């Protein structure tokens, strides 16, 4: 668990040191429109959404540790390549390669976390969220500092961190390998796609995940462009500060999220989370770039995120057989289609105007509620700890 927590933390720092600044980077070095920039950055999620089912099933066959190492190595190599050229013909294919690395890493890491989780184990994905939030506190600060020094330093810092993560996994190879070895291989692993594709609950979890990520992706992709329209060159500093604030209170908000999980059904929790996202877009739209209103919006946004973001993983952990966890978590990564569609839709709406953007997203904030309120996805309330 220490190796997995460290891997999650360092990967999160590296990811958030680079990806949130890609929209600003492309805006600086290219003449692409906001929608085209959103599509380019969103391609990372699209590749992951399309490829993770295959990589997850492959993890069930050849081992999650092997695929995790391969993905981290690819991350590091792509970051080095991005630091060497800012030509559009080189940058855009390399951004797509970041999606390939994400495809290899995410289902493998989630499978290992799920195998290590005791009992229902849904708390392990709250721990994962906290580790990601800690990384998200540090990552944007590292990225903003590097970006202000030199745009290419952004990629060098991220590449070094991914390299460090690869070293952590290599040093913990024995314990991680033993974790997989504890589960006796099953013949079902060779037929992983069939059972997963027949499980209606998995499709509901994917629908919820796409709906959540379509909305959530706005904060990391289009929201910085809104800040750039309002604050110009100071946008990077504004965004890094707000993002660090959001990540820090995200850790604190896991306590009320867990309190809700112990006392209320999943549908009620989901309703509160959707209201948090909706309220944030209302406040952002009324802010006119003012820091106080932006901070208030980030606060209610983070409450919604703390409730909603772990839910698809918790559901998948609960319904997936041990022998097929790679395939189940891989298929669940189709939710990353929301990370592609979100920036594309958001960029187009922001091109129309801030009012159209924030109004539409406030409505879309409730897309996930019908999926999460489905009786077939009902979860037992978490015991007090």
**What averages of pLDDT result for each successive group of 10 residues across the chain (385 residues)?**
85 87 82 79 80 83 86 92 81 88 88 74 72 79 83 87 91 78 52 70 90 89 83 78 81 83 86 95 88 92 90 84 81 81 87 91 93 78 47
What was the pLDDT predicted at 226?
84
What was the pLDDT predicted at 383?
47
What was the pLDDT predicted at 385?
41
Q: Which residues contact 259 (CB under 8 A, 6 or more apart)?
A: none
Number of helical H runs and strand E runs in the chain: 20, 0
- Enumerate the H helices of 85-192 as residue ranges: 88-116, 123-149, 153-171, 173-181
What was the pLDDT predicted at 332?
85
What is the C-alpha separation between 171 and 29, in angstroms, rounded?
38
The answer to whether residues 212 and 312 touch, using CB atoms and an 8 Å cutoff, is yes
What was the pLDDT predicted at 384?
43
The yes or no reply on domain 2-376 and CATH 3.40.605.10 is no
At how many degrees (to 10) do helices 34-62 and 22-29 cross? 130
Name the residue among 231, 243, 168 with its Cα closest to residue 18.
Answer: 243
User: Residue 120 belongs to what H/E stretch?
Assistant: none
């Amino acid at each position: 668990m220490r190796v997995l927590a460290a891997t999650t933390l360092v990967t999160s720092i590296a990811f958030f040191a680079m990806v949130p600044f890609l929209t600003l980077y492309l805006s600086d070095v290219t003449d692409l429109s906001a929608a085209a920039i959103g599509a380019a950055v969103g391609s990372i999620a699209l590749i992951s959404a399309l490829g993770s089912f295959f990589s997850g099933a492959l993890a069930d066959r050849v081992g999650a540790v092997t695929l995790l190492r391969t993905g981290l190595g690819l991350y590091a190599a792509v970051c080095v390549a991005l630091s060497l050229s800012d030509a559009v013909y080189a940058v855009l294919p390399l951004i797509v390669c970041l999606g390939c690395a994400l495809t290899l890493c995410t289902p493998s890491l989630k499978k290992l976390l799920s195998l290590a989780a005791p009992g229902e184990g849904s708390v392990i994905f709250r721990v994962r969220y906290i580790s990601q939030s800690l990384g998200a506190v540090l990552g944007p600060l590292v990225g903003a500092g590097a970006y202000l020094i030199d745009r290419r330093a952004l990629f060098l810092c991220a590449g070094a961190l991914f390299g460090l993560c690869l070293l952590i996994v290599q040093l913990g190879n024995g314990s991680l390998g033993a974790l997989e070895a504890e589960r006796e291989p099953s013949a079902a692993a060779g037929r992983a796609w069939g059972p997963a594709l027949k499980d209606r609950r998995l499709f509901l979890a994917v629908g919820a995940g796409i709906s959540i990520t379509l909305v959530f992706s706005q904060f990391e992709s289009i929201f910085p462009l809104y800040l750039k329209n309002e604050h110009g060159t100071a946008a990077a500093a504004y965004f890094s500060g707000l993002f660090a604030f959001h990540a820090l209170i995200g850790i604190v908000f896991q306590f009320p999220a867990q309190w809700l999980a112990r006392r209320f059904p999943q549908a009620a929790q989901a309703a509160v989370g959707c209201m948090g996202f909706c309220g944030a877009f209302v406040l952002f739209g009324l802010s006119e770039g003012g820091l106080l209103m932006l901070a208030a919006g980030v606060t209610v946004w983070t409450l919604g995120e703390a409730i909603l973001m772990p839910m698809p993983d918790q559901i998948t952990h609960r319904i997936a057989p041990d022998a097929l966890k790679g395939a189940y978590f891989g298929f669940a990564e189709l939710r990353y289609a929301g990370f592609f569609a979100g920036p594309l839709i958001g960029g187009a709406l922001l091109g129309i105007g801030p009012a159209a953007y924030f109004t539409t997203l406030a409505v879309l904030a409730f897309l996930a509620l019908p999926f999460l309120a489905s009786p077939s996805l009902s979860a037992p309330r978490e015991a007090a700890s």
